[in-house]
C-alpha cells in the first residue's frame, strides 16, 4: 500500500459510531451457538475450516461437490503483472490518461495539466457499468462503459512526492480533475474490445467543473446552502466515487464513499460539529486541496460536506444531461447501490455504509417502474422509504423505516424535517438501533435465486471473540446471504420488511486454525477481504477483494456457485499486479466478457521507484490504473 492509501485506510479504520447498538458479530455468534442453525449451516453450505473439524463435519458429502465453474484456479501469488485462468485473454481497454473525449491530448508521464486530465481517463478506476447500444437492447458486442474514478495517489502520479499532502495547487487541480467518472463507447471486433474514438457519448464527469443538481427531500435545505450556492440545490462535482449500480431504465448510480477525507478544519467552529464528527471529518484532510480551495475548509464552508455522501444518478446515453444527487437514498459512505425490480414493478435499491460498525440499508421507491416509458422513471428515486437493517439472533432480519416523526426521529432529537434525517442518516440509524456491521461494501440481489449477498470486508477493530471469529480482529471478513420472502427470482418480495439471513462464507485461510474459515471442503482458493461482486447470468457469485496482500496473496477475482454441490466452492480466476486492488466486475449480457478495474497498481511505492510499471512496462512510465476485458479464447461464455 502507498502512504496515501495507508492514510485513507487508517482514518477509515477509526469507527465513528458511538452507539451501543448490537454488532453483527454478536448476532453471528448467537446463531452459530444455537444447535439448530449450526446444523442448517452444515446442510446448506458445506464447511471446511481448520479448527472446526468435528464428527459432524466428517459426514458432509464430498464426492458430488462439483463446481459449475469450468476454469482451473490460478496460483494465489503476487507478481508484477496480472494473471488470468488458462484459456482466457485479459486485454487492456483503457488506462489512466488515455483519451476520453475527441479533443483530449495524449498522456505525458509526469505532466501536470488539469485541463488535459479533464478530458482523459481519470485515476483509480473502480465501478464499471456496461450499457448496451442501442439503449434497451442486450447487445454484448457494442455499448458504453461507465467507469468511476475513486481517488488519487499523488505520490504515484508525479515525481518528487512522498504523499498527497505535498501536492502543489496545480497538482491538486489535476487530482480534482482525475476524480469522477469516464464514459466511453466500446465495440468488440475480432474478439478484442476497442474504444470508439470521437464517440458522441464520450464524456468526463469530474470534480473540477461538472455541475450537479441536488434532488429529493433534502434539496434546498438551509444545511445545504453555501457561499457559492444560496439555493442548496447545486454542487460542483462528486468525490470518492467507489462502486455503483445500474437501473433498469438505463441510468447509472455512482456512489460517494469516503468524502470526509477531502475536508479539513476545526469542526467545533461550525454548527455541524456533531454531524461532521459522525461522518469522520477531522482537522487534517487527506489531501492538499484544503490548503488551496475554501470549499474543502469546514471553517469557511461548514455546509459543503453536506453536499457529499449521496448516490448520484447519471444518464450515460445523454452526454448533455445533468447528474443528480438523490438525497432520498440517504447520506453515508455509500459503497454502491444495486437495484432489484419485483414482479409488481416495485423498485428496491440496496446499499452498504462502508465503515467499521456502520449499517446496511435499502430503499423502496413509492412509484412503480414503467418498462414501456423510460422518461417516467427518470426521477423515480426521489420519493420512497429508506430502511436500515437490524439482525436478530433467530435468523431473521428487520428492515426498520427511517421516517421523520416516527420513533426517535423527531424534534426532540434535533430532527426537524425529513431533510435533517437524511443529512444525518447515520445518526438516525443509530437511534433506531440498527446492527453494527463489519464494513458492508457491495450489496447485490441475485436475479436468479432472488437472494441478496453482502460483502463484509473486515473489521480490524473488533475485540469480541466468538465462534465465527476466534481472533481479536476480523481481518478477513465474511459474506452474508439474505433471503426475502416469496419465491425465486422476480417472485422474491424485496419490498418486505422481514427477511432471513445466513452466513455463506467466513473468509480466511482454511489451513490456518486461527482463521476458522468456512468454505466448501473442495474450495480451490481462499478469500480475504471481499469487496465488490458481480452475479453472472447463471446466478453464480464473482467476488473481488481489497486487502488480501496483507495476507501475502494477491487481490483479484474469485467465483463460486451459490446453490447446489458447488456452493461456497471458491475458485481463483484473476490476480491483480503488485499493489493493486480488484474492482468493477461487470459482465456483458451474453456472459462472454468480464470487465475488471485494476485500481492503484504499485500502491506502496512512488512515481520515482514504482514496484511495478503495469500495464505498459516502459521505462519512465508510471503504473496506470486500467480497465481490463477478459474473454475466453474460444469466444465462449466465461466459466461456461
Q: Structural domain boundaries of the chain?
A: 3-632
The alpha-helical segments, DSSP class H, found in 145-241 are: 154-157, 169-178
Q: What is the mean pLDDT of each run of 10 residues along the chain (640 residues)?
A: 35 68 58 39 40 30 67 98 98 98 97 98 98 97 98 98 95 98 97 97 97 98 98 98 98 98 98 98 97 98 98 98 98 97 98 94 98 97 97 92 98 98 98 94 97 93 52 83 95 97 94 90 97 97 97 98 97 98 98 98 97 98 98 97
Tell me whether strands 311-314 and 252-255 are parallel, antiparallel or unpaired.
antiparallel
376 vs 169: CA distance, rounded Å: 44
What pLDDT is recorded for position 31? 53
Strand partners, 134: none
> Are 544 and 243 in contact, with CB atoms under 8 Å apart?
no
- φ, ψ at 483 (rounded to 5°): -120, 110
Tell me which residue of 426, 243, 400, 250 sits closest to 337, measured CA to CA: 243
> Which contacts qualify for 368-372: CB closer than 8 Å, 24 or more apart?
368/344, 369/248, 369/249, 369/341, 369/345, 370/345, 371/248, 371/345
Could you check whether the bond before residue 354 is cis, i.e. omega within 30 degrees of 0? no
pTM of the prediction?
0.92
Task: Identify how many contiguous H helices and E strands the chain contains and give both numbers.
Answer: 10, 31
Residue partners of 573: CB distance under 8 A and separation at least 6: 71, 73, 74, 84, 85, 542, 556, 557, 558, 559, 639
What pLDDT is recorded for position 52? 32
442 vs 488: CA distance, rounded Å: 21
66 vs 49: CA distance, rounded Å: 19
> Are 578 and 571 in contact, with CB atoms under 8 Å apart?
no
What pLDDT is recorded for position 3? 30
Give me the architecture of the 3-632 domain, per CATH: 6 Propeller (2.120)
State the Cα torsion 154-80-148-74 to the nearest 10°. -160
> Are 547 and 1 in contact, with CB atoms under 8 Å apart?
no
Could you say which DSSP state residue 503 is in? E
Amino acid at each position: 500500500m502507498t502512504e496515501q492509501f495507508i492514510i485513507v485506510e487508517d482514518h477509515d479504520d477509526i469507527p465513528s459510531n458511538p452507539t451501543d447498538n448490537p454488532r453483527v458479530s454478536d448476532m453471528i455468534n448467537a446463531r452459530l451457538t444455537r444447535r439448530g442453525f449450526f446444523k442448517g449451516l452444515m446442510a446448506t453450505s458445506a464447511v471446511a475450516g481448520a479448527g472446526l473439524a468435528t464428527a459432524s463435519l466428517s459426514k458432509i458429502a464430498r464426492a458430488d461437490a462439483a463446481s459449475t465453474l469450468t476454469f482451473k484456479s490460478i496460483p494465489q501469488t503476487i507478481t508484477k503483472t496480472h494473471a488470468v485462468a488458462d484459456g482466457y485473454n485479459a486485454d487492456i481497454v483503457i488506462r489512466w490518461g488515455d483519451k476520453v473525449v475527441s479533443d483530449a491530448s495524449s498522456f505525458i508521464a509526469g505532466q501536470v495539466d488539469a485541463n488535459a486530465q479533464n478530458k482523459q481517463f481519470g485515476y483509480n478506476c473502480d465501478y464499471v457499468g456496461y450499457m448496451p447500444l442501442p439503449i434497451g437492447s442486450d447487445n454484448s458486442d457494442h455499448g458504453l462503459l461507465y467507469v468511476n474514478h475513486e481517488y488519487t495517489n499523488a505520490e504515484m502520479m508525479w515525481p518528487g512526492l512522498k504523499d498527497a499532502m505535498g501536492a502543489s495547487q496545480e497538482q491538486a487541480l489535476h487530482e480534482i480533475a482525475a476524480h469522477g467518472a469516464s464514459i466511453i463507447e466500446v465495440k468488440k471486433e475480432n474478439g478484442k474490445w476497442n474504444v470508439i474514438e470521437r464517440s458522441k457519448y464520450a464524456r468526463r464527469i469530474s470534480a473540477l467543473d461538472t455541475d450537479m443538481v441536488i434532488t429529493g427531500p433534502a434539496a434546498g435545505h438551509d444545511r445545504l446552502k453555501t457561499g457559492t450556492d444560496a439555493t442548496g440545490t447545486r454542487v460542483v462535482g462528486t468525490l470518492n466515487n467507489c462502486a455503483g449500480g445500474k437501473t433498469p431504465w438505463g441510468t447509472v448510480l455512482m456512489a460517494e464513499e469516503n468524502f470526509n477525507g477531502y475536508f479539513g478544519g476545526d469542526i467545533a467552529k461550525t454548527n455541524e460539529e456533531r454531524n461532521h464528527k459522525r461522518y469522520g471529518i477531522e482537522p487534517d484532510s487527506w489531501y492538499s486541496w484544503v490548503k488551496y480551495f475554501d470549499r474543502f475548509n469546514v471553517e469557511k464552508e461548514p455546509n459543503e460536506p453536506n453536499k457529499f455522501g449521496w448516490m448520484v444518478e447519471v444518464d450515460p446515453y445523454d452526454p448533455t444531461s445533468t447528474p443528480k444527487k438523490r438525497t432520498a437514498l440517504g447520506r453515508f459512505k455509500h459503497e454502491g447501490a444495486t437495484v432489484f425490480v419485483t414482479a409488481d414493478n416495485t423498485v428496491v435499491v440496496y446499499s452498504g455504509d462502508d465503515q467499521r460498525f456502520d449499517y446496511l440499508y435499502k430503499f423502496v421507491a413509492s412509484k412503480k417502474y414503467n418498462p414501456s416509458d423510460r422518461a417516467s422513471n427518470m426521477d423515480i428515486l426521489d420519493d420512497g422509504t429508506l430502511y436500515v437493517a437490524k439482525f436478530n439472533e433467530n435468523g431473521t432480519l428487520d428492515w426498520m423505516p427511517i421516517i421523520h416523526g416516527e420513533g426517535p426521529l423527531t424534534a426532540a432529537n434535533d430532527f426537524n424535517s425529513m431533510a435533517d434525517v437524511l443529512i444525518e442518516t447515520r445518526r438516525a440509524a443509530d437511534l433506531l438501533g440498527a446492527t453494527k456491521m463489519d464494513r458492508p461494501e457491495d450489496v447485490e440481489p441475485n436475479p436468479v435465486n432472488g437472494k441478496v449477498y453482502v460483502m463484509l470486508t473486515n473489521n480490524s477493530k473488533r475485540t469480541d471473540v466468538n465462534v465465527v471469529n476466534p481472533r481479536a480482529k476480523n481481518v478477513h471478513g465474511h459474506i452474508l446471504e439474505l433471503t426475502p420472502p416469496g419465491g425465486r427470482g422476480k417472485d422474491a418480495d424485496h419490498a418486505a420488511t422481514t427477511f432471513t439471513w445466513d452466513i455463506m462464507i467466513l473468509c480466511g485461510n482454511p489451513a490456518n486454525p486461527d482463521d476458522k474459515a468456512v468454505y466448501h471442503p473442495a474450495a480451490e482458493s481462499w478469500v480475504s477481504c471481499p469487496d465488490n461482486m458481480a452475479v453472472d447470468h447463471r446466478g453464480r457469485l464473482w467476488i473481488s477483494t481489497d486487502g488480501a496482500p496483507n495476507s501475502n496473496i494477491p487481490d483479484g477475482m474469485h467465483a463460486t456457485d451459490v446453490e447446489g454441490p458447488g456452493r461456497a466452492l471458491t475458485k481463483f480466476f484473476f490476480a491483480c499486479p503488485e499493489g493493486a486492488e480488484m474492482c468493477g466486475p461487470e459482465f456483458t449480457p451474453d456472459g462472454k466478457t468480464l470487465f475488471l478495474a485494476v485500481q492503484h497498481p504499485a500502491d506502496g511505492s512512488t512515481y520515482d521507484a514504482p514496484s511495478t510499471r503495469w500495464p505498459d512496462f516502459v521505462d519512465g512510465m508510471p503504473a496506470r490504473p486500467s480497465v481490463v476485458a477478459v474473454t475466453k479464447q474460444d469466444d465462449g461464455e466465461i466459466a461456461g
